[in-house]
Amino acid sequence: MPWDERTARRLKLRDLNIFKTVTGCGSMGKAATQLAISPPAISKAITDLEHVLGVRLLDRSRQGVEPTQYGSALLKWSTAVFDDLKQGVEEIDTLADPGRGIVRVGTSEGTPAELISAVITQLSPRYPRLAFSIIQAATIASQFSYLRERSVDLIFGRLILPIEDEDLGTDMLFEDRYVVISGEGSKWLRRQHIHLAQLVDEPWCLNPGHLEADVIAAFHAKGLAAPKQVVMTNSNQLKHALVAAGDFLSATSASRLRLSKKRLGLRPLKTDLAIPSTHIGLVTLKGRMLSPAAQLFIDGARRVTRPFANKNNRMHPSDVANPRNRQPLTQKSWRLAADSNRQARKAIEVSSRKRAKQVVE
User: What would the pLDDT profile of 180-219 be if each residue is shown by its tens digit?
Assistant: 999 998 999 988 899 999 999 999 999 888 889 999 999 9
The whole-number pLDDT of residue 320 equals 32
Q: What is the pLDDT of residues 54-91, one digit of tens each?
A: 899 999 888 889 999 998 989 888 887 887 787 777 76
- The more confidently predicted of residues 80 and 171 is 171
Q: What is the pLDDT of residues 264-307, one digit of tens each?
A: 899 999 998 888 888 999 999 998 888 888 999 999 999 999 98
| Residue 118 in this model has a pLDDT that exceeds 80 | yes
| Residue 312 in this model has a pLDDT that exceeds 70 | no
Distance, CA of 139 to CA of 134 (rounded, Å)? 15
Distance, CA of 92 to CA of 86 (rounded, Å)? 10
- The torsion defined by the Cα of 60, 66, 72 and 75, in degrees rounded to 10, comes to 100
**Among 310, 57, 300, which residue's Cα sits nearest to residue 175?**
310
Helix 28-35, helix 13-25: angle, nearest 10? 120
Query: Exposed/middle/buried for 102, CB within 10 Å: 0-12, 13-18, 19+?
Result: middle
| Residue 347 in this model has a pLDDT that exceeds 70 | no
Average pLDDT taken over every residue of the chain: 82
97-176+278-329 and 178-276 agree in CATH topology: yes
- Please give the CATH superfamily to which domain 97-176+278-329 belongs: Periplasmic binding protein-like II (3.40.190.10)
Spans of all domains in the chain:
5-81, 97-176+278-329, 178-276
344: left (phi over 0), alpha (psi -120 to 50) or beta: alpha
Say which CATH class 178-276 falls into: alpha beta
Helix, strand, coil abundance in the chain, percent, nearest 5: 50, 20, 30
Domain 5-81 indexed as CATH 1.10.10.10:
yes
| Residue 357 in this model has a pLDDT that exceeds 70 | no
Handedness of CA 289, 292, 296, 299 (dihedral sign): positive
- The more confidently predicted of residues 41 and 262 is 41
DSSP state of 271: B
Distance, CA of 354 to CA of 136 (rounded, Å)? 39
Q: Where are the alpha helices (DSSP H) in the chain?
A: 5-10, 13-25, 28-35, 39-53, 69-94, 113-123, 143-148, 210-221, 236-244, 254-264, 292-309, 331-360
